[in-house]
Structure 1
Amino acid sequence: MRIKIIILICILSEFPLKAQVNLDSLYSVWQDQTQPDSIRTNAFSDYIWDGYLFSQPDSAAILAEELVSFGKDNNYLRAQFAGYTLQGVSWVNRSDYKKTLSYYIRALEIAKEMDHPAALAIAYSNLGSVYHDKGDLTAALDNYLKSLEANPTMKMGTTFLNIGNIYKNQGNLTKALEYYRKSLELNKKEGHQHEQASSLSMIGGIYREQEDYARSLDYYSRSLKIFKQINNQNGIADTYSDIGVLYDKQGEYQEALRYHKKSLAVYEQLGNMDGVALSLNNLGAINLELGDYGKALENCQRGFDISVNIQSLVRKRASCSCLYDAHKALGNDDKALYYLELLKAVEDSLNTRETAKRLQQMEFQEEARLIQEAHEEEVRRKERTRNISFIAGIFFLLLAGSFYMRWHYVRKSKASLQIEKDRSENLLLNILPEEIARELKEKGKADAREFDMVSILFTDFKNFTEQGAKLTATELVNDINDCFEAFDAIIEKYGIEKIKTIGDAYMAAGGLPVPSSDSVKRTVLAALEMQEFISKRKAKMEALEKQAFEMRVGIHTGPVVAGIVGIKKFQYDVWGDTVNTASRMESHGEVGLVNISQTTYDLLKDDPEFNFQSRGKIVAKGKGEIEMYFVARKK
């Protein structure tokens, strides 16, 4: 960003810049009204940049507003452009992207009024960077391309690289490669070695994904050579890691180990713990391929410990997968199951984080559109004011046309905003019950509530640990997911609420957050259909000579407390003795059947749709003797 503004000031100056000694001298030039406006603008811009922008952004914004006012008072557009741009940068430094966007759009409008190619290029590039940071890749790409179109002769190597990254994120490797090559060509011509090495590395990554390993290695090697020449240690470590992955993909494990050890050494020297965790996980994965399970455990355990310390879910996921495979290969079934369950929990957290990120991106995109509309409306208002003074005779005709277009535009905008709002609400409803989500949106919080009659349903797979030891991590997770997806559909059919999954256990509740008179019956019907699904699935899997789960289900009805837990990765949960008793119903049940408590039986015993089988009193851990019944549908 700093390079862009300095280029802008030099291009827009009407006179050459004079060398400034310190902040005091810069401020003196700004105060000297005998100096040309261009010199005063340049001096004050440097004063704000060097003295306040990165240390006191609040003060920088106030000073930049003074520069804008100076430009307005003197009808000097270049000062307004510099002031709005500096204000935008001040809000970037405070991570307020909405205000950043607002000021960058004002700068763009001034650049359009100036009709200056360099100013337009910088304004569009700044807008592209904001949209890029907030994940709106379509808007980012649009503004980057407009920047190139406005002034293709500027130093745009970084912009080409940014455009390439967008196409790569979208999976368009051909387009990404095209812009990475343009970036490389420009950076070579301009002598930017760091950017040149980055472009070479990105090209190597594209060829690696396309499995053109010879070309990939050539570009990585050229990138590594430049990083070594300029002594960029992070670049060196990253490239070592990329080459290690390249050799791993080709099955050349010894070479892969050598490069990952090199990257590990540099990352450790730099104190880059994220890089250290990455290298350790890569080494552990190769150790697994070579059958060196002890070394795999050592490397991946170190990677796991570091990922916990730096709170990196991505690194933790790789470590857990490696530790599961290593412990499984060594016959440590309990530890293998522990890391498998931890892996599933990490993946759930990543999915929740991604959902939250999407919600934030949708909110930003909606707000960005509103800001854009507000500025466009301001521009239209100014244009109408100017036109009134020149074309008074056709004022009413223009006004009527403007009102019609505005009405049509607002109607279309509202429809578009409604679509985005509906999408955001659907994402929220995937996390919380509808009643709770509505309360959270209206009040900003959801109070815990007591319910007198809730049926808690628990499921659990029999011999899960033993069966899981016979499957790969991917197969095991896929099998569990297959069952839980079916359960999700069943509970939605019967209108009961999914609470959570705990490893291979599934928990749901009937009668909350909105109580109903038939919730007990619907919960039992859902449980019976779950068992029916598991039985049919087992028959299909056995016909294919594959492993299949068998399941116990238990239900108990009684009072609970329900509410949202925490403020991060929040979750709707339930508490109370009813939950514990329902868990005992499941653990003392039998495969293929639905086990219910005395309370649940008493509520359903007169229902002609069910048959009941008394089991008598059974001793349950922590509960003493409990009366239990098997329930089934009458045929």
Structure 2
Amino acid sequence: MQEASSVNETERLAALALYQVLDTPPEFAFDAVTELAAEICSCPVAIVSLIDERRQWFKSKYGLPADFTECPREITVCNSTVCSNDLVYVPDLTAHERFKHVGVVTGEPHLRFYCGMPLISREGYGLGTLCVVAFEPRELRPSQREAVRRLAQQAMALLELRRQLLERNALLTELAHAKAAAEEARDQSERLLRNILPEPVARELQRHGKVEPRFHEATTILFADFKKFTLLTESLDPARLIDQLDQNFGRFDEIAVANRLETIKTIGDAYLCAGGLPVPSRSHAIDTCLAAVQMQAYIQSANRQREKFRLAPWELRIGINSGPVIAGIVGHRRFTYDIWGNAVNVAQRLEEACEPGRVNISASTFHHVSRLFEAEARGSVGVKHIGAIDMYFLNRIRPEFSADAEGCTPNAEFWRASGAG
């Protein structure tokens, strides 16, 4: 006999795969169905089976040996039943033209009676069967045949429940992945926000959606830029210029963080940072001066390497001033933490009045750091729009407070003498 096959066999097999039931262990609920079917129909064997592309696999069986779990689909009666949409009832298989040559009839186990109902999925695909069989011809009452239909529906309901649980678990997994992705995106956003803004300011912005401006009475501002930067832009291609500027500012950021300063912004070749905000600090002037001498030491070291290759040096000028500022957030779509006040303007004028490779500080800053740093008085120097300002060149940490010969690294005595350690 030619093998029966579903009109949509590819789709049927795909539907069967959704249940992930093949080769799973026995389950009590399915075993109860087969036992009840055999008892109602007074048959020695009852089977709940699923049929894939090559076999009839038994999910539950009553009256068969434990090790008998499958058989080739082409020799079974269920191979035809799965392609049907209603009960297949054959009192005598040997007298039926369609089934008398099937392998399970002509050979072991020599079936004679068969009653089976396809297990039809919600999409209308036959996945397998519930059948009762016997080794002698027999008749079933209409009520018994109806019982086979109802029990097949129950078996299919169990399969559908399994599929729903699988779909729920898949959905929960998908939701878990989506939640993890959302949390990662949120964490990434928070990390980005903390990189752009000081952490206390970022927290306030996240909590309230805005940041109130703050008046900071005791701060120290560092303003730096590179003299003759325009000449460098003419001698270097843009990519190399930006790369080198990024390296310099990247190192400045590291120095600022190490000395408890907050980077405010960079504009072209200008770099602005400050101590004492947004969290107040008694050592704001000391921290800022430490950062300044370390920045100059870094640039001087880089210039020694540049000199070997006959490259133009980076001529860094730094101005430092201590005083009050107002700090806050500007912008709505692109947030920027900025500072305003005369103290900021003075720091910029000090930088403009500085010599390359030096650190120029105001008298207000000198007052905070004179015990710890060596400085040269420059007297009163007139600057644009402000007038005369008392200035000092900051040279280094005093030798007795320095951990290195260059006077860039403070020792333990430095912090004891500062009163901030």
Shift of 1:594: 1.2
Q: 1:603 aligns with which of 364, 368, 373?
A: 368
- The answer on 1:573 being equivalent to 2:338 is yes
Q: 1:506 aligns with which of 271, 279, 290?
A: 271
Report the structure number with the largest CA radius of gyration.
2
Letter of the aligned partner of 1:489 in structure 2?
A: E
2:281 partner SS? coil
2:318 partner SS? strand
Q: Over the residues paired in the alignment, what is the CA RMSD in angstroms?
A: 3.5
Aligned match of 1:624 = 387
Alignment of 1:302-381 (within 5 A): none
Shift of 1:629: 1.3
Q: 1:536 aligns with which of 282, 288, 301?
A: 301
Aligned match of 1:468 = 233
Identity %: 39
Higher helix share: 1
Higher strand share: 2
1:430 partner SS? helix
Shift of 1:482: 2.2
Query: 1:404 & 1:520 partners in 2: Cα distance?
Result: 60
Alignment of 1:157-556 (within 5 A): 390=157, 415-556=180-321
Q: 1:634 aligns with which of 386, 398, 409?
A: 398
Shift of 1:455: 1.0
Deviations 1:432-462 (A, max 9, x none): 1111111111111111111101111111111
2:236 partner SS? coil
Shift of 1:390: 4.9
Gap regions ≥5 residues in structure 1: 1-111, 117-385
Query: 2:174 & 2:263 partners in 1: Cα distance?
Result: 42
Considering Cα pairs closer than 8 Å and 6+ residues apart, tell me whether 1 or 2 has the greater RCO. Answer: 2
Shift of 1:420: 3.1
Gap regions ≥5 residues in structure 2: 1-120, 126-152, 400-421
Q: TM-score, normalised by structure 1?
A: 0.36
Aligned match of 1:557 = 322
Query: 1:398 & 1:460 partners in 2: Cα distance?
Result: 68
Deviations 1:533-577 (A, max 9, x none): 111111100101112211110110111111111213221111110
Alignment of 1:19-98 (within 5 A): none
Letter of the aligned partner of 1:510 in structure 2?
A: G
Query: 2:365 & 2:169 partners in 1: Cα distance?
Result: 63
Shift of 1:468: 2.5
Shift of 1:113: 7.7
Query: 1:414 & 1:561 partners in 2: Cα distance?
Result: 40
Aligned match of 1:141 = none
1:535 partner SS? helix
Query: 1:559 & 1:113 partners in 2: Cα distance?
Result: 75
Shift of 1:601: 1.1
Q: TM-score, normalised by structure 2?
A: 0.53
Shift of 1:408: 8.3
Letter of the aligned partner of 2:300 in structure 1?
A: S
